[in-house]
Structure 1
Amino acid sequence: MANTRIQAITLFIILALVCAFVPTFSVEEAEAKSLWDTCLLKISPKCALDIIGVVFENLTITDSCCHDLVQEGKMCNDKLIKYIADKPLLIANEKKYLKKSDDLWTHCVSISPTA
């Protein structure tokens, strides 16, 4: 079971990285660079994986990662999830992923001491 979880998370990381360097998808190269430069540098790789896992794999997130997410900001969270959800393999469920992202944001804001 844990092996499947690791494989799924690894798949999403690979997908995100590949898509970041292939501008032929729906997000332009400048937008991908902006996402990496302004958002993903503000959050730990583990928390980024947790966020992706919650939205795309129904996993859970720690309170400390919720705090990091709130510190990162809603715009960055929305950009990251939209960027991944826009990919051809995921676009059919994009609305579901965006809703889950909003639910995650609401949850994290409610438990974050800086909210």
Structure 2
Amino acid sequence: MASLNVYSALVVLFLTCVAAMATKANDQIIKDNNCETKMGLPCVLEAFTCIFETGTISSKCCGELVGLGNVCHSTLVKRTLKNPLFKDLSPARIIAKSIQTWNNCLALIDSPSPSA
């Protein structure tokens, strides 16, 4: 019985360490890529609303999001999901909305503009 308690404690410790390492890895990626400085606040709010709530993102902000890069985009979303304020959200749903927003913006930015 004592070995089961020790095993349980080791599993909890391991999972805690993995979660902490994932958060540190995300923070390092964000720092290394200057992710937090690549988008203006209005576009950050638009993207956040589009992904975490219900909203749309303008073509201007799509341009900033694509300029941010997919690594920064996905890492910032993952870091936000780790915040206790968002614990009630479905990570799978948010990740799906994040990918959908990224793909929509990428298609919008890559598509040729109509002739005037």
> Normalising by the residue count of structure 1, what TM-score does the alignment of the two structures yield?
0.67
1:76 partnered with 2:72: yes
Q: Percent identity?
A: 27
Taking the aligned partners of 1:111 and 1:43, their CA distance within structure 2 comes to 17
8 Å CA contact 1:66, 1:108 repeated in 2: yes
Which residue of 1 is the match for residue 30 of structure 2?
35
Gap change, CA 1:99 and 1:49, over 3 Å in 2: same
8 Å CA contact 2:29, 2:75 repeated in 1: no
Superposition map of 1:1-115 within 5 A:
27-28=23-24, 31-32=26-27, 34-35=29-30, 38-91=34-87, 93-113=90-110
Taking the aligned partners of 1:36 and 1:46, their CA distance within structure 2 comes to 21
Taking the aligned partners of 2:94 and 2:54, their CA distance within structure 1 comes to 10
Taking the aligned partners of 1:69 and 1:36, their CA distance within structure 2 comes to 17
Shift of 1:40: 1.5
Taking the aligned partners of 1:48 and 1:83, their CA distance within structure 2 comes to 14
- What's the RMSD between the two structures over aligned residues? 2.5
After TM superposition, the runs of 4+ consecutive aligned structure 1 residues lying more than 6 A away are: none
State the AA in 1 paired with 2:70: K
Residues paired across the two proteins, number? 91
> Normalising by the residue count of structure 2, what TM-score does the alignment of the two structures yield?
0.66
Unmatched 5+ stretches in structure 2: 1-19
Taking the aligned partners of 2:40 and 2:60, their CA distance within structure 1 comes to 11
State the AA in 1 paired with 2:37: L
